Amino acid sequence: MTSRDTIAAISTAYGKSAIGIIRASGDNITSIINDFIRRELHPRMATNAKIYDRGGTLIDDVVVIYYKAPSSYTGEDMLEIQSHGNPITMDLILEIICNSHARLSKPGEFTERAFMNDKIDLIQAEAISDFINASHLNASKAAMMTLQGNFSKKIKGLIDKIVTLRANIEACINFPEDDSPQNSNKDTTEGINSLIGDLRKLIESVDAGIKVNKKPIVAIIGKPNVGKSSLANCLLGEDSSIVSSIPGTTRDALHHDLVLNKNNITIIDTAGLRNTTDVVEVKGIEVTKKSIHNATMILYVVDDSIGYDKTDKAILFENNISDYWIINNKIDLTESNPVILNKDGVTHFHVSTKSMDGINTLLEKLSKKAVPNDETTGTARMRHKELLSSSLSHLSAGLEHNNQLELVAEELRIAHSSLVAIMGGDVTEDLLDKIFSDFCIGK
């Protein structure tokens, strides 16, 4: 974590393009400029220059930007080379840099150095990854909110409050003659209760942040032969799933990516749910149940000529499905209208995957329902919720020991440590490796 190596990487996606970017960071940036750019560069000024190999052979006509420490993304000297986007040329530039002055960076190492050099905290570092990998517009907006420090400010506010409370308790312990026990206990109880209220509100916000940060997954389920695969094909606009009148044709969960109103969601076409002795089909049904668990939304398909019956209700109950839409398919056979109805609090869509009646309406509603639209919440991760919950638990334990200030002080110390860990304080190298390994190389 404290490496002073100079690192370099191609930061743009692999492939041919008009421009490709190579970036380097570390102590050898001046040497790279002197040996390969061979001209003076002014910090933070884009400069048209030529780049040469060690033998003086011209490689490319480029634009270079030099960032002098600490005014850079990593907090170190940095160099950004904007070359022509030919992978051969970019690989050659990277090779000559790494042959003598640098090494290839690990995934996320530039951002890790930014964290280590106090340019960003760990919450913001995670938000950078969330922003790059956002699957829909609301997720990218939420990630930007977190990157701008919205979430960090809330954690810092909690840390400030708990530090003040800890200081007061330590003062009561060390100088008991300066205050009465009754006042000390009353002030401590009020302070802890205030923190507990703030934490509970923040945990609710984090739950929303986790949800918006997750790629929407829509699982299409139901009994065999109700038109699940046909519905998947209609939503996707192509024949991606095999359609057959033979029950049990789909033996696995088929994942498809769908772009819906500029949002990326995953559609899962699943095996039909029924009692069967077919070993392969049984395994397919097991996979369906896993898909149900991982889905953010369920489309439960029924045959409109049969309707929603007791078996369907039992399937939903047995799989603990409470949030779902019912898709009444095959209205071309029943001559029903493509309407949307609400029955017992559940939305029913009447569609035909054969005539496409009702499909556009379903897509329109799906684009609004599947993608979280809470733009007041930044992105968050389960790590944050676990540490916030840990802090809440120890604060609650502190209330139970309010007559023993030494025990209260210890509970507050642990609660404080959990909050600090969210920001990146006292984190282990294993945790940092796990977080930054999810980044792309060059970021």
| Distance, CA of 392 to chain centre | 24
Structure tokens at 87: 């992978």
List the beta bridge partners of residue 64.
47, 81
**Start and end residues for every CATH 1.20.120.430 domain found in the chain:** 125-212+379-423
pLDDT tens for each residue of the chain, 443 residues long: 445 799 999 999 888 999 999 999 999 999 999 999 999 999 999 999 999 998 999 999 999 999 999 999 999 999 999 999 999 999 999 999 999 999 999 999 999 999 999 999 999 999 999 999 898 888 899 999 999 999 999 999 999 999 999 888 888 777 666 554 555 677 788 889 999 999 999 999 999 898 888 889 999 999 888 988 899 999 988 655 444 444 545 445 788 888 888 888 899 988 877 666 566 666 777 788 888 888 889 999 999 999 999 999 998 898 888 889 999 999 999 999 999 999 888 999 999 999 999 999 999 999 888 887 766 668 899 999 999 999 999 999 998 887 788 899 999 999 999 999 999 887 667 767 777 877 787 77
Amino acid at 376: T
Please name which of 297, 295, 265 lies closest in space to residue 135, comparing C-alpha atoms: 265
Considering the segment(s) 125-212+379-423 as one domain, its CATH architecture is Up-down Bundle (1.20)
Query: What local confidence, expressed as pLDDT, does residue 115 receive?
Result: 94
Quick one: angle between helices 405-423 and 181-213, nearest 10?
Answer: 30
- Residue 175 DSSP SS3: coil
Q: In a 10 Å sphere around its CB, with 0-12 CB exposed, 13-18 middle and 19+ buried, how is residue 271 labelled?
A: buried
Cα–Cα dist 291/256, whole Å: 13
In CATH terms, the fold of domain 7-120 is Gyrase A; domain 2 (3.30.1360)
**Start and end residues for every CATH 3.40.50.300 domain found in the chain:** 217-369
Considering the segment(s) 217-369 as one domain, its CATH architecture is 3-Layer(aba) Sandwich (3.40)
Cα–Cα dist 2/439, whole Å: 19
**Start and end residues for every CATH 3.30.1360.120 domain found in the chain:** 7-120
